[in-house]
A and B are shown apart, each in its own frame.
Chain A
Amino acid sequence: MLGVVLESRSIQQYPVSLFYQSLTQCGSRMSREQLVVERARRAFQTGMSKPLKFRVHQLKNLHRFITERRKDIADAVNKDLNKTEHSTELFETLGLEGEIDVAVERLAEWAAPRPVEKSLLTILDEVYIQPEPLGVVLIIGAWNYPWAVTLQPLIAAIAAGNAAVVKPSEVSSHSAKVMEELLSLYLDKELYPVVCGGVSETQELLRQRFDHIFYTGNSTVGKLVMEAAARHLTPVTLELGGKSPCYIDKDVDLRVACRRITWGKFVNCGQTCIAPDYILCEPSIQDRVVEEIRKCIMEFYTDDPKSFEDYGRIINQRHFQRVMSLLEGSTVAIGGDSDQSQCYIGPTVLKDVTGGSKVMQEEIFGPLLPIVTVSGVDEAIQFINEREKPLALYVFSPDNKLIRRVIAETSSGALVANDCLVHFTVSALPFGGVGNSGMGRYHSQHGFDQLSHLRACLIKKLNLEDANAMRYPPHTAKKLGWARFFLLKRVNLRRLRRMALLALFSAMAAFIVQRFLR
């Protein structure tokens, strides 16, 4: 086996390269973002991010960062979103630590050449797919889980051998600041710089050339990111959002179903991209659903969520106003209370909401849970299909047939039956959207593959040249006949190997029997 393993190989610096030229000529006019990207690119080109040892070392450092600076991270998230230390651990850092562990454990496997099925024509050749780093990746994070959604793509980027420019969201300003200050103490400063800033800094970053852009956020900005990427033919991964529907079958155990939905909805004060956005159920169970949710809210957040430490806040005034305005025209069944000075909105349930209501026009991203009544699963499916493909779809039903029907007749990034959010924790499942909810996917090996170039490699030898005669001009019908045979005949190597093994065993058995029966 040729064993193409990416080794440490420092490529000699070109004495007169374009990069140095441009830097010396327009040094004074280069923006900060441009310089950072250039440095990252130069660092990548030295080849230092390629060796597996280096990647594992950086990942382990990242793990240390999370464990050693647990307090700093928790404080930052608390200031940003009013989350407790335990919440932060549960929803942000636990997932990160898990991803790092998986990456460190499996990296050699992921980065190794992947042999593929051969044809008769290539039976004597080496044929495999070699994962390679792409180069410099841009990661634009979001504010709702400022650590999880910014660092998880970074794990994939490091594992795949890339350099990565990390741009945390300025909206979660405390987390962004902590990330900028502390990350460079644990990770290579040039390969993985953190760039903070607002809209104009992000736009300046997007003008630079990257080898992949990973964006988490909303569809509007997602389109702008993809347009900017198109100018450099840069591939993108867009983790967007949408209105994730949650269908409750009338025959389901409402107590458990509502508890799981309540949990999924009000975690982080509804500011989760895969939170169940709205409920679809039959009118006959609507009141019971409301009652069960009311009970759960009491159980989780006491009768005064405002003073309870595990209930979060809206990130800022702008979003507070936005979410409050969505209440317009809808009937409040639970909650509806708010306190602008604290950006507090109580856990709220709206009933008898229609498709045309204001709250149904955009992704809520807040603690308002509308219930839309439908006559049955048919109408529910129709309702869902009339709208954009969501990031997640939730179905609560004891009936497997119904669940399978919903899977077959709808589309969404992911589907979870009888629970909310938890598919995020199954790292073997690809996490991503479809249509308006995004493109591309990550988590575990999916992230590694997304940020790698999977290069097709065919290693042949210069002998057996006569076999090639059938493809060379001057062409004849006879040559074509041979070409057809070789190109179209599929060889099932696995079956051949199994048959050969079986033949070997039979021969061995026959030999033993023959010998000992004398």
Chain B
Amino acid sequence: MEKQAVQRAREAFLAGRSRPLEFRVQQLKSLQRMITDRQGEIATALKQDINRSQYDTPLFELIGLENEISLAVSKLAQWAAPRPVERNLLTISDQAYIQSEPLGVVLIIGAWNYPWALTLQPLVGAIAAGNAAVVKPSELSEYSASLLKALLPRYLDQELYPVVCGGVSETQELLRQRFDHVFYTGNSTVGKLVMEAAARHLTPVTLELGGKSPCYIDKDVDLRVACRRITWGKFVNCGQTCIAPDYILCEPSIQNRVVEGIRQTLLEFYGPDPKSSPDYGRIINQRHFNRLMTLLEGYTATVGGQSDSSQRYIAPTVVKDVPPQARLMQEEIFGPLLPIVTVSDIDDAIHFINEREKPLALYVFSSNKKVIKRMLAETTSGGVTVNDVIMHYTLNSLPFGGVGQSGTGRYHGKHTFDQFSHHRACLVKSLGMEEVHMVRYPPQNRQKVRRVRLAMRTSLVDFSKGTYIWAVTASIVALGLLVALTVILIITAGVSCTCL
């Protein structure tokens, strides 16, 4: 079944249907309609999957999608247009440009924590780039998966963008097929398997994985605001966010105040009983619930710690003085448990972060520019937000992706379009000026080589900063002179005319 869906998608792609810009825009607008028309059903599915509140759905899934679609629709012509490049003396009369082309049939494997955003956002880019796309939503968010399977064919071309549902064996079958790009969102273990399967066909991959995103709090920072922002980012979707602040690093002297700050904020957000708050989510399934409870074993929660297995509810929990070797610190938590690890100073914090795998996100809370600069210069991560959490995800001009174990490739906005395109180098020459080319033909000698050297290395346009500043200054001065001249002319005209 999977094989047939891929085959049909490839035939539809080869027929050329997905390439015209009008078609791509029309499909994207259709996708937009699906999201707007079916918002209620989507929200219901999410509530059943993960107890998502009715406001979190648009806030975290749908507004982002809308944004991506409207950006793609308005900029598609620009993105798909040929991009001219700098030439040298040898190619002075030629056209040299980069042409973005569709790759072919791409595979998008979604995740369960934001089943709509993480599955459809890549699809927006794939459609915009002119590809066919096989969409495989995560089976763990089963209501969303079956809703997507029912809805997508009603709004998008059924053959070009089929939805394939299923579990591990269906996914493995899909991965045996040949694609032109595989886009996977999930964990590193499966990420390796995806890349290995892709290697057999020499298929490029984008892997949006995870990791433990550290959150460093400087001791001289406004803790009230810092803790509020961290609390928001951590407990949204019950901690099941790939870029949630996984753990806190701070000096022992402020640890208690940090705990208090979080405690107060939790009260503000979810009330005294988060279980009854409509805005507080649940764990996706029993397996993850058990996994999280095991992480907590042996540690006493300073805040929260309550749970209810029947509802897969875990209260927003903070654990302080967590040792680096604790289980909580060995794997990505992906749940509402927030460990605080104390470090002696910023050096210690940087060491701690660098001893571990490169995370998907890094968070630094500080009002000291030097601290921020050091943190950024001496560590690495997929992305960084300073003095807030998660927000770099919302800006689609920033590329979103990991590095090292947290992933490879990036997307959002134009980056998705680029990721799903082939940037073909095009050089269109004419058959004239053959005398110029005689230097490269055998037999070779010293003079010929020298002439080629000269022709190849002279660049035509100087893009250096100095020239740019000079050009801008010259333009301003020239404009100023022009204005002055015009004014003088007006005045002299006025003087000669007696109507003044």
Q: A95: nearest residue on chain B (CB-CB)? A: B456
Cβ–Cβ contact A86 & B448, under 8 A: yes
Contacts A233-B188, A425-B456 given; does A105 touch B464 at CB 8 Å: yes
Q: Closest CB of chain B to A408's CB: distance in Å?
A: 8
B435-477 with Cβ < 8 A to chain A: 437, 440-446, 448-449, 452-453, 456-457, 463-465
Chain A residues contacting B192 (CB-CB under 8 Å) are 230-231, 233
Residues of A within 8 A of B392 (CB): 456-458
Partner of B483, one of A45, A257, A309, A508: A508
Q: B403 near A134 (CB under 8 angstroms)?
A: yes
Q: Does B355 contact A (CB under 8 A)?
A: yes
Question: Hey, which chain B residues are within 8 Å of A440, CB to CB?
Answer: 204
Q: CA–CA, A407 to B383, complex, Å?
A: 37
- Shortest Cβ distance from B86 into chain A, in angstroms? 4
Task: Report yes or no: B464 in contact with A487, Cβ–Cβ below 8 A.
Answer: no
CB atoms of A456 and B399 under 8 A apart: yes
A121 proximity list for chain B (CB < 8 A): 391, 394-395
Known: A233-B188, A458-B398, A517-B494. A429 touches B425 (CB 8 A): yes
Contact of A272 with B by CB under 8 A:
no
Q: Given A233-B192, A411-B101, A457-B392, verify A90-B465 contact (CB < 8 Å).
A: no
Residues facing B in A84-111 (CB within 8 A) are 84, 86-87, 89-90, 94-95, 97-98, 101, 105-106, 109
CB distance from B19 to the nearest CB of A (A): 8
For residue A302, which residue of chain B has the nearest CB? B443
Chain B residues with CB below 8 A from A219, complex form: 202
B426 on the A face (CB < 8 A): yes
Contacting residue for B395 out of A105, A119, A417, CB 8 A? A119
Candidates B88, B372, B380, B382; contact of A459 at CB < 8 Å: B372
Residues of B within 8 A of A498 (CB): none
Are A7 and B377 in contact, CB atoms less than 8 angstroms apart?
Answer: yes
A459 touches B398 (CB 8 A): no
Q: Mark B340-381, 1 if CB is under 8 A from A, else 0.
A: 000000010011001100000000010101001110111011
Q: Are B397 and A127 in contact (CB under 8 A)?
A: yes
Whether B202 pairs with A227 at a CB distance below 8 angstroms is: no
Number of inter-chain CB pairs below 8 Å = 330
B430, closest chain A residue (CB): A418
**Residue of chain B at shortest CB distance from A113:** B376
Q: Which residues of A (239-255) have their CB < 8 Å from a CB of B?
A: 240, 252-253
User: Are B70 and A129 neighbours in the complex by a CB distance under 8 Å?
Assistant: no
Q: How far is the CB of A241 from chain B (nearest CB, A)?
A: 12
Determine if A414 is an interface residue (Cβ-Cβ < 8 Å): yes
CB contact list, B90-106 vs A, under 8 A: 90-91, 96, 98-99, 101, 103-104
B35 on the interface (CB 8 Å rule)? no
A429 and B199 form a contact (CB under 8 A): no
Inter-subunit contact B449/A94 (CB<8 Å): yes
Q: Please pick, from B204, B386, B444, the residue contacting A310 in the complex, using a CB distance under 8 A.
A: B444
When distances are taken between beta carbons in the complex, the residues of chain A under 8 Å from B228 are 465, 468, 472
In the complex, the chain A residue whose C-beta lies closest to that of B84 is: A428
- Known A-B contacts A118-B395, A439-B204, A475-B55; the reply to A87 vs B444 at CB < 8 A is yes
Task: Name the distance in Å between A271's Cβ and chain B's nearest Cβ.
Answer: 16
A contact residues, range: 35 or more
Contact with A along B385-415 (1 / 0, CB 8 A): 1111001101101111001110111100000
A426 at interface by CB-CB < 8 Å: yes
In the assembly, what is the distance between CA of A413 and CA of B202, in Å? 14
Segment among B3-11, B22-30, B61-69 that sits at the interface with chain A: B61-69
Assess A431 versus B387: contact at CB under 8 Å? Given A86-B445, A516-B491.
Answer: no
Judge whether A458 and B487 touch: CB under 8 Å: no
- Residues of A with C-beta under 8 A to B372: 2, 459
Cβ of B196 < 8 Å from any Cβ of A? yes
Please determine whether B443 and A422 come into contact, CB atoms closer than 8 angstroms.
no
B397 and A426 form a contact (CB under 8 A): no
Which A residues touch B369, using CB under 8 A? 2
Question: B residues within 8 A CB of A488?
Answer: 63, 66-67, 70
* Partner of B398 from A14, A129, A229 at Cβ < 8 Å: A129
Which chain A residues lie closer than 8 Å to B59 at the CB level? 471, 475, 480, 483
A41 to chain B, nearest CB (A): 12
Query: Are A233 and B199 interface neighbours, CB within 8 A?
Result: no
CA distance A135 to B405 in the complex (A): 13
User: Within 8 Å of chain B (Cβ to Cβ): is A403?
Assistant: yes
Q: Does B15 contact A (CB under 8 A)?
A: no
A300 touches B443 (CB 8 A): yes
Complex alpha-carbon distance, A18 and B222, angstroms: 36
Nearest-neighbor residue (CB-CB) of A260 within chain B: B437
* B58, A129: Cβ atoms closer than 8 Å: no
Hey, which chain A residues are within 8 Å of B374, CB to CB?
9
CA A129 – CA B376 in complex, angstroms? 12
Indicate whether B149 reaches chain A with its CB closer than 8 angstroms: no
Distance of A468 Cα from B195 Cα, bound (Å)? 39
User: Are B380 and A132 interface neighbours, CB within 8 A?
Assistant: yes
Is B1 interfacial (CB-CB < 8 Å)?
no
Contacts of B99 in A (CB 8 A): 407
- Beta-carbon contacts of A64-91 to B below 8 Å, as 1s and 0s? 0000000000000000000010110110
Q: Does A503 reach chain B (CB closer than 8 Å)?
A: no
| Bound Cα distance A396, B448 (Å) | 25
> Which chain B residues lie closer than 8 Å to A26 at the CB level?
none
Cα-based distance from A508 to B232 in the complex (angstroms):
48
A398 within 8 A of B: yes
Q: How far is the CB of A282 from chain B (nearest CB, A)?
A: 18
B72 to chain A, nearest CB (A): 12
Which 5 A-B pairs rank lowest in CB-CB distance, beginning with the nearest?
A: A475-B55, A86-B444, A226-B199, A230-B195, A473-B279
Interface, chain B (partner A; CB < 8 A): 53-56, 58-59, 63-64, 66-67, 70-71, 85-88, 90-91, 96, 98-99, 101, 103-104, 180, 188, 191-192, 195-196, 198-200, 202, 204, 207, 209, 221-222, 225-226, 228-229, 232, 268-271, 277-280, 347, 350-351, 354-355, 365, 367, 369, 372-374, 376-378, 380-388, 391-392, 394-395, 397-400, 403-405, 407-410, 422-431, 434, 437, 440-446, 448-449, 452-453, 456-457, 463-465, 479, 483-484, 486-487, 490-491, 494, 500
15 A–B contacts, CB within 8 A, in A order: A11-B351, A86-B446, A106-B464, A132-B380, A260-B437, A301-B442, A416-B427, A429-B425, A430-B425, A434-B103, A456-B410, A457-B383, A458-B392, A472-B268, A488-B70
